[in-house]
């Protein structure tokens, strides 16, 4: 398994902190060529400096914006020639009871957690099919059980899980692996 990532192109959304940053660092250590995006330019710059001798491509992008997703995926393909593994990691949460929640929060969570996954996957799909690659969604246990105070987050992760399950079946004959992880 340790050779699996050698020279593979891995695109990771939300790579400037948390799980995404850990994935970037682990994939680089395993010999992958890594592209990542995040909203925070300063954190991406620090990541780029930290790994200046590594094949790391960083793009400032907000996955809730289709054009930002397009820039990230297209520049990754241009930089590395394709994408073998797409890890849809970017996401946000919420902590608010429904009665106290701003309705705009629900749209923002769906735009980032769900539509960011949809957009990046759709844009990278042709390359992933050509390479018989892998699509990963970083979801949550909240995608299986609704959590009080996190109703919008739970709904977005339910959507991610269901969508990935559907495309997993669709892409099976193309040799594409689709999976989701729920840390």
Mean pLDDT in each 10-residue stretch from start to end of the chain (183 residues)?
A: 89 97 98 98 97 97 98 98 98 95 96 98 98 98 94 98 98 98 93
* pLDDT score for 67: 98
On whether the CB atoms of residues 55 and 34 are closer than 8 A, the answer is: yes
The alpha carbon of 38 is separated from its chain's Cα centroid by a whole number of angstroms, namely: 10
Q: Which of 4, 66, 144, 153 is catalytic?
A: 153
- The CA distance from 93 to 105, in Å, is 9
CA 89 vs CA 13, 14, 175: distances in Å: 5, 6, 22
CA distances (Å), 173 to each of 19, 135, 170, in order? Answer: 30, 14, 7
pTM for the whole structure: 0.96
DSSP symbol at 11: E
Catalytic residue flag (residue 45) = no
């Amino acid at each position: 398994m340790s050779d699996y990532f050698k020279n593979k192109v891995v695109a990771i959304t939300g790579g400037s902190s948390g799980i995404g940053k850990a994935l970037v660092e682990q994939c680089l250590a395993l010999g992958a060529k890594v592209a990542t995006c995040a909203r925070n330019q300063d954190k991406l710059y620090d990541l780029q400096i930290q790994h200046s001798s590594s094949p790391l491509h960083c793009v400032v992008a907000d996955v809730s914006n289709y054009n930002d997703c397009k820039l990230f995926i297209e520049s990754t393909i241009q930089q590395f020639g394709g994408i073998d593994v797409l890890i849809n990691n970017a996401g946000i949460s919420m902590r608010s009871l429904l009665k106290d929640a701003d309705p705009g929060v629900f749209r923002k969570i769906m735009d980032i957690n769900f539509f960011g996954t949809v957009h990046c996957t759709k844009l990278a799909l042709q390359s992933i099919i050509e390479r018989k690659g892998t699509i990963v969604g970083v979801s949550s246990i909240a995608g299986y059980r609704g959590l009080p105070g996190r109703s919008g987050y739970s709904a977005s992760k339910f959507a991610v899980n269901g969508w990935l399950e559907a495309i997993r079946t669709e892409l099976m004959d193309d040799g594409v692996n689709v999976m989701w992880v729920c840390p």
